[in-house]
C-alpha cells in the first residue's frame, strides 16, 4: 500500500523550521519530542530527502528542505483560507481589495470609507474605481471588483444587493426657497444629469410621481455628468436642480449664495446598495464591510440604517435639513 504524506506531517515540519528546535516545536504541537522526530523521519523517507540538519543541539533547513517548506506553507495557507471562507472570514479582508462606487456617491463616501477599510483590512492595499451601475455590476460579476456601492438593484441574478441607507433629496436654487418644497411648486427648469446616470433616473421618477399627484409639468434641461457642474449651472441662473442630501451636506463653500430646501414627500430619494456576488452576503467579511459603508454614509447625512426596501413603510420621522447659517 502506498504511503502518503499527511497534513500533520506538514504542520510538524513547519513547526520545526520556524522554532529551530525539536523541543520547542514539540511543545508547540502538543506532542512529545520522540514522536515529532519519528514523524519527521517518516516524511523524509517518503520524500527521499533530508529536510532538517541537526548540529550540536540546533537544527537548520536544508536546501531541498527550503523548497519543501515553501510548498508546505502554501498548502497550509490554502487550507486555512478554505477554513476561513467556510466561516465567512478571509473572503475579502486581509488581502488587496478593489471596489467600485458610483460617481454620484463617491464625493461624500470614498474618503471616509477608505479610512474605515484601512482599519478593517490591516492597511492592506485598497483601490476603487468610479463608474456607472452596469459597468460596476459586470466587474463584480467577473470578480474584477470585490464589491460595489450603487443605487439600483443589480440586474444580474448572480449578484446580491444589501440595502445600506436611504438618501433624501434636496432642492438647490439661486433663488430663495422655503425650508421644504415639492416638485410641483418649482417653476424654474430643473437641471438633470446626463443620460445613463442612475441619479438622473431617480429625479425623473420623482418628477413623474409629482405629475401623477398634481398634474403639473416641470420643465427640464439636460445637464452635465457631475454634481459640481450642476451647482455651477444653478449658480449661473440656468435653472434649479435636485441632489442627494448627503452630497449637499458635504458641499460646504460650493453652496455659498445658493438656497437649499428639503424635498417632500419624505420618501423621495434613493436607496444605496452594497453589491456582491450572490452567496457572499452571509460572510462575516461582507458584514464588516457593510457596517463600515453604512457608518460612512450615515455620517455623511444619509437616513440611518437599517434601510427599508422601497415597498416597506418607513414610519421614522426625518426632520427637514437646513444648511448651517453663515
Q: Which distant-in-sequence residues (6+ apart) come within 8 Å of 125 by Cβ?
A: 96, 97
Q: Is 260 exposed, middle or buried (0-12, 13-18, 19+ CB in 10 A)?
A: buried
Q: Which pLDDT score, from 0 to 100, does residue 325 have? A: 38
Q: Which pLDDT score, from 0 to 100, does residue 311 have? A: 38
Question: What DSSP element (H or E) covers 272?
Answer: strand 269-277
Distance CA 96, CA 125 (A): 5
> Is 60 exceeded by the pLDDT of residue 2?
no
% pLDDT > 90, the chain = 26
* Backbone torsion region of residue 20, taken as left when φ is above 0, otherwise alpha when ψ lies between -120 and 50, otherwise beta: left
Would you say the CATH fold of 168-264 matches that of 97-165+271-299? Answer: yes
Residue with cell 426625518: 318
Which pLDDT tens digit goes with each residue over 219-229? 888 777 788 88
Cis peptide before 77 (omega within 30 of 0): no
| CATH of 168-264 given 3.30.830.10, 3.20.20.140, 3.40.190.10, 3.40.109.10 | 3.40.190.10
> Is 90 exceeded by the pLDDT of residue 76?
no
> Is 70 exceeded by the pLDDT of residue 321?
no
Distance CA 155, CA 69 (A): 46
> Is 80 exceeded by the pLDDT of residue 249?
yes
Distance CA 5, CA 42 (A): 9
pLDDT, average across residues 151-163: 90
pLDDT bracket for residue 291 (50, 70, 90): very high
What number does CATH give the domain 7-86? 1.10.10.10
CA-based nearest residue to 116, from 305, 301, 294, 311: 294
Q: Where are the domains of the chain?
A: 7-86, 97-165+271-299, 168-264
Q: Are 261 and 170 in contact (CB under 8 A)?
A: yes
Distance CA 237, CA 175 (A): 8
Cell of 178: 422655503
**Which CATH architecture describes the domain 97-165+271-299?**
3-Layer(aba) Sandwich (3.40)
pLDDT, average across residues 55-65: 85
> Is 90 exceeded by the pLDDT of residue 184?
no
Cβ burial 102-137 (10 Å sphere, 16+ → b, else e): bbbbbbbbbebbbebbeebbeeeebebbebebeebb
> Is 90 exceeded by the pLDDT of residue 120?
no
Q: Which distant-in-sequence residues (6+ apart) come within 8 Å of 25 by Cβ?
A: 12, 15, 16, 18, 19, 36
> Is 70 exceeded by the pLDDT of residue 30?
yes
Amino acid at each position: 500500500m502506498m504511503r502518503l504524506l499527511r497534513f500533520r506531517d506538514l504542520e510538524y515540519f513547519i513547526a520545526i523550521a520556524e522554532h529551530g528546535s525539536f523541543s520547542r516545536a514539540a511543545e508547540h504541537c502538543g506532542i512529545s519530542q520522540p514522536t515529532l522526530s519519528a514523524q519527521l523521519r517518516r516524511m523524509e523517507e517518503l520524500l527521499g530527502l533530508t529536510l532538517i540538519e541537526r548540529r550540536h543541539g540546533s537544527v537548520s533547513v536544508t536546501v531541498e528542505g527550503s523548497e519543501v517548506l515553501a510548498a508546505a506553507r502554501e498548502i497550509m495557507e490554502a487550507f486555512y483560507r478554505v477554513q476561513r471562507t467556510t466561516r465567512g472570514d478571509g473572503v475579502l479582508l486581509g488581502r488587496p481589495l478593489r471596489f467600485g462606487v458610483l460617481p454620484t456617491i463617491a464625493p461624500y463616501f470614498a474618503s471616509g470609507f477608505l479610512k474605515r477599510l484601512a482599519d478593517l483590512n490591516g492597511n492592506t492595499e485598497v483601490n476603487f474605481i468610479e463608474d456607472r451601475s452596469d459597468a460596476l455590476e459586470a466587474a463584480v460579476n467577473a470578480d474584477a471588483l470585490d464589491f460595489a456601492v450603487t443605487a439600483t438593484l443589480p440586474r444580474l441574478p448572480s449578484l446580491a444587493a444589501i440595502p445600506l441607507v436611504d438618501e433624501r433629496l434636496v432642492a438647490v436654487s439661486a433663488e430663495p426657497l422655503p425650508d421644504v418644497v415639492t416638485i410641483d411648486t418649482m417653476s424654474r427648469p430643473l437641471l438633470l444629469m446626463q443620460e445613463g446616470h442612475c441619479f438622473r433616473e431617480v429625479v425623473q421618477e420623482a418628477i413623474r410621481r409629482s405629475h401623477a399627484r398634481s398634474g403639473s409639468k416641470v420643465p427640464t434641461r439636460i445637464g452635465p455628468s457631475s454634481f459640481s457642474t450642476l451647482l455651477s449651472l444653478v449658480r449661473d441662473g440656468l435653472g434649479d436642480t435636485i441632489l442627494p442630501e448627503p452630497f449637499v451636506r458635504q458641499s460646504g463653500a460650493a453652496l455659498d449664495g445658493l438656497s437649499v430646501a428639503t424635498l417632500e414627500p419624505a420618501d423621495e430619494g434613493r436607496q444605496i446598495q452594497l453589491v456582491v456576488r450572490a452567496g457572499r452576503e452571509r460572510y462575516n467579511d461582507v458584514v464588516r464591510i457593510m457596517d463600515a459603508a453604512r457608518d460612512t454614509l450615515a455620517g455623511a447625512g444619509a437616513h440611518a440604517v437599517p434601510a427599508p426596501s422601497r415597498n416597506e413603510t418607513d414610519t421614522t420621522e426625518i426632520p427637514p435639513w437646513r444648511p448651517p447659517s453663515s
